Amino acid sequence: MRALLANPRGFCAGVERAIEIVERALESHGAPIYVHHEVVHNKFVVNSLKEKGAIFVEEINDVPLGKVVIFSAHGVSEAVRQQANKLGAIVYDATCPLVTKVHKEVAHKQKQKYKVILIGHKGHPEVEGTLGQSVAGANVELVETLADVDKLNLDNKRLAYTTQTTLSIDDTQQIVNALQVKFPDIKAPQKEDICYATQNRQNAVKTLMQDADVLLVLGSNNSSNSNRLREIAEKMQKNAYLIDDVGEIQQSWLIGVDTIGITAGASAPEILVQEVVNYLRAHGTNEIIEMNGVEENTHFAIPKPLRQIPK
Ligand code: SF4
């Protein structure tokens, strides 16, 4: 058996920045510090930060008065920001700058009196945060499927759309096409909202799965971009498994497999991939091949007050 490693895979610039913010805030302020929602959707990362003294809360009101609070990479609504201020919190914002870009787009379009249609997954924290950029709470409408587009009954002259950053490129294009057929004047975002990391990892899996029989995706269940990677392989009629770590691999998945593909979602660290590689070597894989791929050079600066603090 041989294994092909997707390239690129794993950590994106937004995730690296978010983790660095939590680590430096811990170093600067000492434990405990509070993190609103899982800073990134990965069990391994969250557990490591818990061990260092981060406390993860789902509700901002669960943070005691005057404490350090970090907003997760997925971003937060205006209501959460305001509530953190009321609590006298020292806030560090780990929202990925590419999510902030979407928030700004939504706010800008609202000022221009557009109704914004957000393509995204209901209940995902990024979507909650983006919906929560609506000043009046009524000018952003969520669509998740083609059926949702069908049901839209809008007579607004000024319509615009935006998307969650971690969607399937192909599924989203279908929804955008349907929106454009239904509302020919709908405005597109100035620049693609699905982020570079999501696009690169999806394209890498498409390439990889031309040669692989099975795909292992390192990533947690609640990671949107990891789930989209699994779905790509499934759409290519291949078996694909989303696993948190090597311990979840089942021997039966590898029976009769000649080539296994491996990738990792944008919030999964490389150490988890290497543990899988070691496992496969120990179970009959004699060839490990790093695929060629797009080189990523994106880097996001951390907030100024934390820059002098060592990790
Ligand atoms: S997946 Fe994209 S939007 Fe999300 S944190 Fe990474 S770079 Fe930012």
Looking at residue 17, which CATH number applies to its domain? 3.40.50.11270
Task: Identify whether 295 is part of a domain.
Answer: no
Helix segments in the chain, DSSP class H: 13-29, 43-52, 78-86, 97-111, 125-131, 146-151, 169-182, 196-208, 224-235, 270-282
Q: What are phi and psi of 173, to 5 degrees?
A: -60, -40
- Domain tally, the chain: 3
Residue 172 and residue 225: Cα distance in Å, rounded?
A: 13
Does the bond joining 8 to the residue before it have cis omega, within 30 degrees of 0?
yes
CB 155: neighbour CB atoms within 10 A? 6
Whether 40 and 70 map to the same domain: the answer is: yes
Rounded CA gap, 179 and 75, in Å? Answer: 26
Assess whether 137 and 160 both reside in one domain: yes
The answer to whether residues 249 and 167 belong to one domain is no
Does the CB atom of residue 15 touch ligand 1 within 6 A? yes
27 catalytic per annotation: no
Backbone angles phi and psi of 197, in degrees to 5: -70, -40
Q: What is the pLDDT of residue 246?
A: 98
Ligand 1 neighbour 96 (Cβ under 6 A): yes
Domain that holds residue 225: 2-11+196-290
From the CA of 156, how far away is ligand 1's center (Å)?
31
Find out whether 133 and 76 touch, Cβ atoms under 8 Å: no
Examine the fold and report which residue of 125, 153, 182 is the final residue of a domain before the chain moves on.
182
pLDDT at 114: 92
pLDDT for the residue numbered 135:
60
Residues 223 and 264 in one domain: yes
Same domain, 87 and 108: no
> Are residues 209 and 129 part of one domain?
no
Euclidean distance between CA atoms 23 and 226, whole angstroms = 24
190 lies in some domain: no
In a domain, residue 189? The reply is no
Residue with the smallest CA separation from ligand 1 atom 5 is: 14
Question: What does the pLDDT read at residue 311?
Answer: 64
How is residue 189 annotated by DSSP? P
Instruction: Check pocket membership of 94 for ligand 1, CB cut-off 6 A.
Output: no
Final residue in a domain of this structure, among 123, 151, 182: 182
- Domain for residue 311, yes or no? no
Assigned domain for 134 exists: yes
The CATH number assigned to the domain holding 219 equals 3.40.1010.20
pLDDT for position 309: 72
pTM, two decimal places = 0.96
Q: Are strands 259-264 and 239-243 parallel, antiparallel or unpaired?
A: unpaired
User: Is residue 21 a contact partner of residue 92, using CB atoms and an 8 Å limit?
Assistant: yes
The answer as to whether 188 is a domain residue is no
Does a structural domain hold residue 139? yes
- CA-nearest residue, atom 6 of ligand 1: 14
- Asked if residue 134 and residue 214 are part of one domain, the reply reads no
Asked whether residue 40 falls in the same domain as residue 75, the answer is yes
With a 6 Å cutoff on the Cβ, whether 225 touches ligand 1 is yes
Cα separation of 84 and 98, whole Å? Answer: 22
Within this chain, do residues 86 and 24 fall inside the same structural domain, yes or no? yes
- Is 205 found in the same domain as 257? yes
Residue 171 belongs to some domain of the structure:
yes
For the chain, 311 residues long, the average pLDDT of each consecutive 10-residue run is 97 98 97 97 98 98 98 96 97 98 92 93 95 72 96 89 96 96 94 94 98 98 97 98 98 96 98 98 95 97 88 64
Residue 126 sits in the same domain as residue 66: no
